[in-house]
Amino acid sequence: MNREVILKVDNVSCSYGQVRAISEVTLEVRAGELVTLVGANGAGKSSLLRCISGVQPTNGGSIHFNGENLKGKSAASRLIAGISQVPEGRLVFADLSVEDNLLLGAYRATKSARRAAFDRVFALFPILHERRTQLAGSFSGGQQQMLALGRALMSSPQLLLLDEPSMGISPIVTQQIFEILDSLCASGVTILLVEQNATAALVLADRAYVIESGRIVLSGDGPALLNDPRVREAYLHG
Stretch that binds ligand ATP, among 14-22, 105-113, 125-133, 185-193 (CB under 6 A): 14-22
The gap from C-alpha 77 to its chain's centroid, in whole angstroms, comes to 17
- Does 19 bind ligand ATP (CB under 6 A)? Our answer is yes
Contacts made by residues 106-114, CB under 8 angstroms, sequence distance 24+:
106/154, 106/155, 108/80, 108/155, 109/154, 109/155, 109/156, 113/156, 114/154
49-88: contacts with ligand ATP (CB under 6 A): 88
Count other C-beta atoms under 10 Å from residue 156's C-beta: 15
Count other C-beta atoms under 10 Å from residue 116's C-beta: 14
With respect to ligand ATP, which residue has the nearer C-beta, 43 or 201? 43
Distance CA 173, CA 170 (A): 5
Q: Quote the least distance from Cβ 223 to ligand ATP, whole Å.
A: 23
Instruction: Return the residue of 2, 18, 41, 133 that touches ligand ATP, per CB under 6 A.
Output: 41
With respect to ligand ATP, which residue has the nearer C-beta, 195 or 228? 195
Which residue type sits at 54?
G
Give the burial string for 188-198 (b: 16+ CB within 10 Å, else e).
ebbbbbbbbbb
Stretch that binds ligand ATP, among 41-49, 61-69, 183-191, 198-206 (CB under 6 A): 41-49
Stretch that binds ligand ATP, among 39-47, 65-73, 90-98, 126-134 (CB under 6 A): 39-47
Stretch that binds ligand ATP, among 37-45, 93-101, 115-123, 200-208 (CB under 6 A): 37-45
Which residue type sits at 21?
A
Stretch that binds ligand ATP, among 44-52, 90-98, 172-180, 217-225 (CB under 6 A): 44-52
Q: Quote the least distance from Cβ 50 to ligand ATP, whole Å.
A: 7
Angle at 219 between CA 218 and CA 224, to 5 degrees: 105
Distance CA 68, CA 85 (A): 19
With respect to ligand ATP, which residue has the nearer C-beta, 124 or 167? 167
- Does 104 bind ligand ATP (CB under 6 A)? Our answer is no
For 10-41, give the DSSP string: EEEEEEETTEEEEEEEEEEEETT-EEEEE--T
Q: Quote the least distance from Cβ 95 to ligand ATP, whole Å.
A: 25
- Does 21 bind ligand ATP (CB under 6 A)? Our answer is yes
Q: Which residues bind ligand ATP (CB under 6 A)?
A: 16, 19, 21, 39, 41-47, 88
